[in-house]
Structure 1
Amino acid sequence: MTAATTAPGAPAPAGPAAGGSALAGTRTLVRFALRRDRIRLPVWILALFLGTLATADSLRTLYSSPEDRANAVRSMDSPAGLAMSGPRHYLDDYGFGSMLSHQMLGFTAVLVGLMSVLIITRHTRAEEETGRAELVRSTVVGRHAHLAAALSVAVLANLVLALLLALGLAGAGLGDGGTAGSLLYGSAHAAAGLVFAAVAAVTVQVTAHARGASGTALAVVGLAYVLRAAGDSVGNGALSWLSPIGWVQRSYPYVDDRWWPLLLCAGFAAVCAAAGFALSTRRDVGAGLRPERPGRPTASDVLATPLGLALRLHRGMLAGFGAGLFLMGAMYGSILGDAEEMLEGIDEIQEALDRLGGAGVAESFASMVMVVLAVVAAVYVVMAALRPRSEETAGRAEPLLATGLSRARWAGGHLAVAMGGGTVVLLLAGLGFGLAGAASTGDGSLLPELVGAALAHAPALWVTAGVAVVLFGWFPRASRAAWIVPVYAFVVGYLGQILRFPDWMNNLSPFGHVPRLPAADMDWLPLLLLSLVAAGLVWLGLTGFRRRDLETK
């Protein structure tokens, strides 16, 4: 007979407490999530806050006189202008506050939605995918604690952003609406963020993968924006009321100051959050409600290659960015025919367009838009180029590299998809821009011009991928610093043209050396030099990856 003994004073085995709360451990998980996001969340919040204040200040400069604001009303009072901004009611009293709400609220609501979705997926589905959630839940942690903690962090982040916006805009003295308008403007952002955080609480229950969950939730964000844009452009209020972004815009900060549309956001968020908690009880930890589709009995010959495997892993994100950039290009192209009328009388923008080469307004405006499309493509490139780092930290790279597969071939497959896929999404963006632009202007020659202008940014994308692979190869813990490249390119390449940043700042960005087609003439030398720089960075990054230790599990 044997007997098990326990040493005096030894702690009892950890496990779920009998009859314990399903929310047990939520407070600890909230603290842990805030600790992990101590850099990420402040960057998000400060970027949105400072960007809004900078926009409010620039609106004062661009539309300083009543005549300038009257010109802005005429330029925005068109289907294309309303689709890109918001409902027409703002134009009835177009002061600085209503102008800020009209032009910025719908756009920043998308960014707040992106922040909220990433918070939820990072602290729920990503934790399950890596196996950390199962380990944590083996202790005294309730079944709903992870989702409750993630939602709590999202609520806190959105409330902090709302408070900063309210205080900052009230201090800026927009002059129409005062403190009440500023408080409503900030609260509208929080309401939009909570809606999309709750949507993500549902999508993380559906799929077993963090990328799929975030992709589905971001598709809902995109659908909300499209519904709002379509409804406002044709004056169909019913269509706009189907969108949470339409709800927050119809609170009309600085115009009517209506709070009740935010109650719709609160109610919808509560319903979605409750659905997320309910659905989480119908699946196992690490699994999704949607069953995994069984694969083929044997892998294809293409899948057995590093490039084929990388393409299989990236295909969903590549398809999403391709479709999104095509639609984004088409939206910008649809207003290309109205560009001259929209920008008429805005001296600062006219001067910025003149600095691009002195071509026609449509061509100059197209070259500015091309920077935006290229930066969005660069976002895909950075995400794809950093995928090897995710594979390494998740422990999936180690068994592959334990075979005869070399590090250079494995990482090179992901890099080839990043660089090649970035070029493809640029092509689709240029195609959508060109087709819609040619239709809106009646000039068929714009199609090849705009497609060529988009492809001219490909070497800058390759440099962006090169920077990411250098960080991955030599400084893997700092690899996320690659995000600086697209963010900086947008700030100096797009906003810098309007706010008159010095030229040397634009020269620090690879996108600053791309010829501003179709406004400027083609120059092949910068593109050749960018391609050589990209090749050198790729070689340097792969060399570092071959020499450093692999992070193992």
Structure 2
Amino acid sequence: MTTGTWRLTTLVIRRERLIAPFWMALLAVLAAGQAGRYAQSFPTARSIADFAREMAANRALTAFAGEVHSPTVAGMAVWKNADAIYTVLALIAILTIVRHTRGEEESGRAELVGAGVIGRFAPLTAALVFTAGAMVATGLICALAMISTGFDVTGSLSFGAAITAAGLVFTGVGALAAQLTEGARAAIGLAALVLGVSYLVRFTADGSGLTWLKWLSPQGWSHLVRPYGDDNWAALLPALALAALTAALAYLLAGRRDLGHGLIPQRPGPGGIGAAAQPPVPGLAPAQGTAGRLERRLRRGRAGPGRSGALHPGGVQTGRLGPGVPAPLHRLARGVDDRRLPVADRSQPRLRRRPLPPAGPAAAAQGGTRGPRRAAARHAGQPAALGGRPPVPRPRGQRPHPGGRGPDAGAGRR
């Protein structure tokens, strides 16, 4: 069922070889760069502690960034950027997993690849392997960036684990959404809706002081890890469990659905265009869209079949339509019969081709262009400036003189 997974995984890696390292490095620079700025702005422990106390007293900032768990430079850097990193990484995970699952099916490439020796679950497995690996690599890179700045190793590792947990949860959510819907946009919208609800629950929990609400939010679980504080690793267990559950459900749905289809069907379009448009022929449905609007305007504009040129099965009667009818229908009513093919009208005068100007010696004899005159002069053996004349035209059938001269070349000697 997973035949060809490694080849598809290498294909995904090759397609993401430029964008994935970019956003990994961007998040690592965001985490370590904020810590470096705080280290320069608050050189003493007392100054950073006063800053942490002031930020913790602001309930609005707490709702947006979360609670302050450690009044240190590293703790305040995590408080400043952790929630943004969790949210951005979750969104990247959704876009990546949907692009390589539902996006491939929607474009038709999954069906083309499936014509080879590829297992049913190989595309989903390859997308999950790459996306989950990218989430783990991002957390590890961020942890190494914090360690290289000079912060605690345990706190840095817990911070990287919290980042990875947020990415893994929404990797599974995106894979499940890709199996539920029939389009990539719908899958992204459904997974982004889950992300928005998770953020709203976490926002409400930190803004209201109801810490227990964080246990209902996947982003809240990453906040409950509290890096550089008490490092609560147990808060990662719900994230890992939800990631495994959503991935298992994605596999279950992938094995039971048809390629290109989902559990949630697409909404059908409008059933009709209203009761104003009646079917022109009994048993036929009314025309849709632009054709229906033109038909209704035609019905309103004509005054009657006897006076205004009505459409009938035999063709089009000559007449005039009422106001409000488009110009093409006026031309149609003036006698254009679309059943006949266009036939050439022999009564019309034919176009005459313009004769080409003479060239060569004849053109020089008739006073042609400058080029033929020079050619004729060279043919006569004298330059044009000395008044040379062109050779005498030879009648048809007469052979040239054996000596290469004209027929009267020896008349002077005789």
TM-score by length of 2: 0.64
Residues 120 and 150, structure 1, Cα contact 8 Å, conserved in 2: yes
Partner of 1:76: 56
- Indicate which of 187, 190, 200 corresponds to 1:213: 187
> 1:27-66 maps to which residues of 2 (within 5 A)?
27-65=6-44, 66=46
Higher gyration radius (CA): 2
Q: Distance in 1 between matches of 2:79 and 2:268?
A: 48
Change (3 A) 1:124 1:172: same
Change (3 A) 1:73 1:299: farther
Partner of 2:267: 293
1:281 match: secondary structure:
helix
Q: Could you list the runs of 4 or more consecutive aligned residues of structure 1 that deviate by over 6 angstroms after TM superposition? A: 299-304
1:38 match: secondary structure:
coil
1:241 match: secondary structure:
helix
Deviations 1:247-278 (A, max 9, x none): 01111111111211112111110001001111
1:208 match: secondary structure:
coil
> 1:88-107 maps to which residues of 2 (within 5 A)?
88=68, 90=69, 93-107=70-84
> 1:76-475 maps to which residues of 2 (within 5 A)?
76-88=56-68, 90=69, 93-174=70-151, 178-297=152-271
Residues 63 and 69, structure 1, Cα contact 8 Å, conserved in 2: no
Residues 78 and 233, structure 1, Cα contact 8 Å, conserved in 2: no
Change (3 A) 1:103 1:56: same
Residues 87 and 250, structure 1, Cα contact 8 Å, conserved in 2: no
Give the aligned length. Answer: 278
Deviations 1:100-135 (A, max 9, x none): 222221111001101111110110000000011011
Residues 53 and 168, structure 1, Cα contact 8 Å, conserved in 2: yes
Alpha-carbon shift at residue 302 of structure 1 (Å): 12
Residues 202 and 217, structure 2, Cα contact 8 Å, conserved in 1: yes
Deviations 1:196-248 (A, max 9, x none): 00000110011111111111111211211111110011111221111111101
Change (3 A) 1:82 1:276: same
Deviations 1:505-547 (A, max 9, x none): xxxxxxxxxxxxxxxxxxxxxxxxxxxxxxxxxxxxxxxxxxx
One-letter amino acid matched to 1:84: F
1:291 match: secondary structure:
coil
Q: Distance in 1 between matches of 2:28 and 2:288?
A: 47
Q: Distance in 2 between matches of 1:52 and 1:211?
A: 30
Residues 56 and 67, structure 2, Cα contact 8 Å, conserved in 1: no
Partner of 2:4: 25
Alpha-carbon shift at residue 303 of structure 1 (Å): 7.6
Q: CA RMSD in A?
A: 2.1
Q: Percent identity?
A: 36
Change (3 A) 1:302 1:159: farther
Q: Distance in 1 between matches of 2:130 and 2:41?
A: 37
Q: Where does the alignment leave 5 or more consecutive residues of structure 2 unmatched?
A: 275-286, 291-414
Residues 101 and 252, structure 1, Cα contact 8 Å, conserved in 2: no
Q: Distance in 1 between matches of 2:230 and 2:180?
A: 39
Residues 48 and 71, structure 2, Cα contact 8 Å, conserved in 1: no
Deviations 1:408-467 (A, max 9, x none): xxxxxxxxxxxxxxxxxxxxxxxxxxxxxxxxxxxxxxxxxxxxxxxxxxxxxxxxxxxx
One-letter amino acid matched to 2:122: A
Q: Distance in 2 between matches of 1:81 and 1:303?
A: 52
Change (3 A) 1:155 1:94: same
Alpha-carbon shift at residue 30 of structure 1 (Å): 0.6
Q: Distance in 2 between matches of 1:86 and 1:154?
A: 27
Partner of 2:407: none
> 1:507-546 maps to which residues of 2 (within 5 A)?
none
Residues 248 and 262, structure 1, Cα contact 8 Å, conserved in 2: yes
One-letter amino acid matched to 2:216: L
Q: Distance in 1 between matches of 2:232 and 2:268?
A: 51
Q: Where does the alignment leave 5 or more consecutive residues of structure 1 unmatched?
A: 1-21, 305-553
Q: Distance in 1 between matches of 2:272 and 2:39?
A: 64
1:284 match: secondary structure:
coil
Residues 5 and 125, structure 2, Cα contact 8 Å, conserved in 1: yes
Change (3 A) 1:100 1:68: closer
TM-score by length of 1: 0.48
Q: Distance in 2 between matches of 1:218 and 1:294?
A: 23
Residues 55 and 62, structure 2, Cα contact 8 Å, conserved in 1: no
Change (3 A) 1:282 1:36: same
Q: Distance in 1 between matches of 2:33 and 2:208?
A: 31
Residues 30 and 149, structure 1, Cα contact 8 Å, conserved in 2: yes
Residues 67 and 79, structure 2, Cα contact 8 Å, conserved in 1: yes
2:132 match: secondary structure:
helix
Residues 272 and 288, structure 2, Cα contact 8 Å, conserved in 1: no
Q: Distance in 1 between matches of 2:207 and 2:266?
A: 40
Q: Distance in 2 between matches of 1:293 and 1:183?
A: 46
Q: Distance in 1 between matches of 2:137 and 2:270?
A: 49
Change (3 A) 1:84 1:295: same
Q: Distance in 1 between matches of 2:135 and 2:37?
A: 25
Change (3 A) 1:95 1:285: same
Change (3 A) 1:130 1:251: same
